């Protein structure tokens, strides 16, 4: 699933016309110019090394890096879904996904569907579900996880923004652009809240890991956001990322 070197140059011009988020190695020296260091995230996510024979659903696939990676690792079927980017709501589009799929000669399927519309009736059920960087963009996180649990047969890999404070479950709500100046960021659950919601919707075993910058870097970012962009100091200071592995 790589681009032969002799075909790389004709594709380069088309590739440069697309606004990319994911960085995807298409082979033949062709690398998509995404702002996201996608390949480096695989280790931080503990992305399954072997998906042989598994069916995989990628929610919020965008340019499809993780969808194609699941296929590369042996998945028998991969369905990539998106609604916000592919439906014209964000600055991205489906053009990157379609380009990469063609360049990789991939069999990954696609469907434009909102996470809130996921159900066994609408999309079926999957052994493995990827839900990466989407939860905090949704207005109704618990309901979204309920929908996702309904289509997960075995394993969910979830990655999300969190607010790393308080031991009891809590969710901060951002009605405007309090988080990073981005009005599409709606909520900031903490670790306890994410784990509690996953249990409520039916996941029996959960393993979570917080990823957060050191205090010095966070203080610099929070000060810059407060005085440079007028954003809440506490929100910037305590934000982190959470990786959850959850089993039905």
Q: Report how far apart, in Å, the C-alpha atoms of 83 and of each of 116, 136, 138, 192, 234 are.
A: 10, 15, 12, 28, 31
Q: How high does pLDDT run on average in the chain?
A: 93
Please write the tens of the pLDDT for every residue from 172-230: 999 999 998 999 999 999 999 999 999 999 999 999 999 888 888 888 888 988 898 88
> The CATH number of the domain where 227 resides is what?
3.40.50.150
Q: Is residue 23 part of a domain?
A: no
**Which tokens go with 204?**
């029996």
Domain total of the chain: 1
Write the CB contacts of 19 (distance below 8 Å, at least 6 apart in sequence). 91, 92, 93, 96
Q: Is residue 75 part of a domain?
A: yes
Q: Is residue 61 part of a domain?
A: yes
Query: What is the band of 133 on the pLDDT scale with cuts at 50, 70, 90?
Result: very high
Q: What count of Cα atoms within 13 Å lies in the side-chain half-sphere of residue 14?
A: 13
Q: Is residue 123 part of a domain?
A: yes
State residue 9's pLDDT score.
66
Instruction: Report the C-alpha gap between 85 and 148 in whole angstroms.
Output: 19
Q: Is residue 51 part of a domain?
A: yes
State residue 7's pLDDT score.
60
């Amino acid at each position: 699933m790589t681009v032969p070197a002799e075909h790389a140059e004709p594709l380069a011009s088309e590739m440069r016309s697309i606004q990319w988020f994911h960085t995807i190695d298409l082979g033949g020296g062709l690398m998509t110019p995404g702002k996201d260091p996608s390949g480096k995230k695989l280790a931080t996510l503990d992305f399954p090394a072997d998906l042989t024979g598994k069916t995989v659903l990628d929610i919020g696939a965008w340019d499809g890096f993780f969808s194609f990676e699941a296929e590369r690792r042996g998945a028998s079927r991969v369905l990539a879904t998106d609604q916000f980017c592919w439906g014209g709501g964000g600055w991205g589009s489906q053009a990157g996904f379609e380009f990469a799929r063609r360049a990789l000669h991939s069999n990954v399927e696609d469907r434009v569907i909102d996470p809130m519309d996921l159900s066994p009736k609408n999309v079926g059920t999957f052994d493995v579900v990827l839900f990466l960087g989407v939860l905090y963009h949704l207005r109704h996180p618990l309901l979204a996880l309920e929908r996702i649990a309904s289509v997960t047969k075995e394993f969910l890999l979830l990655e999300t923004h969190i607010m790393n404070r308080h031991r009891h479950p809590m969710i901060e709500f951002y009605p405007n652009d309090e988080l990073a100046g981005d009005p599409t960021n709606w909520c900031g659950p903490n670790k306890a809240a994410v784990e509690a919601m996953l249990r409520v919707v039916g996941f029996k075993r959960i393993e979570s890991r917080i990823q957060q910058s050191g205090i010095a870097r966070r203080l610099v970012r929070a000060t810059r956001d407060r005085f440079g962009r007028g954003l809440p100091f506490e929100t910037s200071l305590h934000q982190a990322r959470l990786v959850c592995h959850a089993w039905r």
